[in-house]
Structure 1
Amino acid sequence: MKQHSKQPGIGVDGCKAGWLRVVFDGQTAAMTLCQKLEEVASQTAEAAIFIDMPIGFVKAGAAGRACDQAARRYLSPLRHSSVFTPPCRAAVYAEKETASELNFRHTGKKLSQQSLNIIPKMRALDDFLQTQNPKEQGRWYEAHPEIIFATFNEEQPLIHKKKTRDGEAQRLALLQPYFPSLMDWYATARNRYLRKEVLPDDIIDALGLAVAAFLANQQQAEMIFFPAEAEYDETGLRMQMVGVRVEGCKSVRVGYNLA
């Protein structure tokens, strides 16, 4: 398929030390550990950004966001539990000690420890997007890594969890057709930061999002959305996850017998 854009793909994953940004241009990838989202957005004007962090929050109600429900259906029955329920908007801006109880009052549900731990990251992204104009907001897409890797895997959720050896191998194998020098790049990248700053799966997740964004920019992949019709929160932010549909992709199975 013809290339229609020279824009790179940008993938971002929240990590212990900040925000891990990977910029992929079809040949190589540049990895940067950013402290602020303004730095993430710098030097990449207009290119789509795929980020593994909730964008937009419900005000109240037990149903939650339609995008989380759609993502769980897509990843069922293997990786659906990787999609957690974000807090309501009021809880995002509450103190950690009171956030779960406040969320319960608004939605009837308490927050998981995972949700509580990343509230500062969710708040930082929301604060950043609220200060941006609609055009800038529009290039930030919520992208769940498990959806991205499933779309690379003939739209089948991956069997192995990402923190296992087989899970790492499967995800790298799915990306390698689009990034031939991947293994050499990854061997260097995983030793660049301390594990207390950036974990190996942070690198793979950010790279997966960057490759997907690049293929979409080049019109080598079709962007697909969860749900198909976007919802918007009370501030106007889009509550919708993105994936890509790649023609001719092949599934990769690692660590088990097909017989």
Structure 2
Amino acid sequence: MLGGAVPCRGGWVLITGRLQGVTMAPGPAQVVPTFLAVVDHRPSFDVLTLAAPIGLPETGTPEGRGCDRDARDVLGPRRAAAVVSPPGRRALGAPSYEDAIEANGGPLSLDQWELVHHVAEVDREMQPFRQRSLHEIHPELSFHQLNGDRPLEHPCHTDEGRAERRALLVRKIPGIERALDADLVGVRRGDLLEAAAALWTARRVASKGVIRLPKVPEWDAKGLRMQYLR
């Protein structure tokens, strides 16, 4: 069983898939209320990819982790802004944006603050043993790979960008249209595209065709590997 999960307003949007020989049969999209429910999914996942930070610095920086910097280098100047540096671990329990800035030990963007709830949920449940089957991805890295390791023409938040990304997924994953067209409460079209891109990378992990950023990972204070797979 393969899965790709991304944060959404309703919790986590998850798209599953099964390998059938050299092809993958995607399942429907679904909303799962908590990260713990995602990782405890039955049947259990052989590979689960997650579009959320796994492994954090204690305090945040604008540049982020080594994997974030490497991801921006791969995406190039047109798409590098899609990679938002995660907040530091000390900011996760802050009751307000102002308190989070102080706890973070430095600047904290609104984009970083919007991630805090989901980042805290992942950090609370993650242990090193889970990384045997659970891997961090970035959707834009997945789309970059789907596009022949070339930058996409349009930003992901535009109609043109969503159409461009959908076309790549439909070309590479037969039957993914049902998941991409799902009408789920608290889920945007972009969330579905990103979950499908995560599922594509899960398939690459399962087939041992994945690329790691960086090749030699950093590790955080909890012993979590900080590395993107694409």
The answer, yes or no, to whether TM exceeds 0.5 is yes
What is aligned with 2:21?
none
> Which residue type is aligned with residue 156 of structure 1?
R
Report the alpha carbon displacement of residue 135 of structure 1 after superposing the two structures with TM. Answer: 3.0
By how many angstroms is 1:39 displaced?
1.7
CA distance in 2, matches of 1:182, 1:65: 32
Q: 2:16 aligns with which of 16, 19, 23?
A: 23
Shift of 1:60: 4.1
Q: Which amino acid aligns with 2:78?
A: L
Counterpart of 1:82? 82
Q: Deviations over 1:80-137 (max 9, x none)?
A: 001111111111232233001221x3xxx3111111112011000010114xxx4323
Partner of 2:210: 223
The 5-angstrom pairing of residues 28-177 of structure 1 reads: 28-41=26-39, 42-60=41-59, 62=61, 64-97=64-97, 98-103=99-104, 105=105, 109-130=106-127, 134-177=128-171
Aligned residues: 222
Specify the structure having the higher radius of gyration (Cα): 1
Q: Give the fraction of aligned pairs with identical amino acids, expressed as a percent.
A: 29
Deviations 1:136-187 (A, max 9, x none): 2332211110000001111112121122222112111111233223335533
Structure 1 173/203 Cα, relative in aligned 2: closer, same or farther at 3 Å?
same
Instruction: Kindly report the root-mean-square deviation, in angstroms, between the aligned alpha carbons of the 2 structures.
Output: 1.8
Distance 1:27 1:137, change over 3 A: closer
Distance 2:175 2:85 in 1: 36
Partner Cα distance (2:226, 2:10) in 1? 26
The answer for unaligned runs of 5 or more in structure 2 is 19-23
Kindly tell me: are residues 88 and 28 of structure 1, through their superposed partners in 2, closer, same or farther at Cα, counting changes over 3 Å?
Answer: closer
Q: Which runs of 5+ in 1 are unaligned?
A: 1-7, 244-259
TM-score normalised to structure 1 length: 0.80
TM-score, length of structure 2 as denominator length: 0.89
> Shift of the alpha carbon at 1:49?
1.1
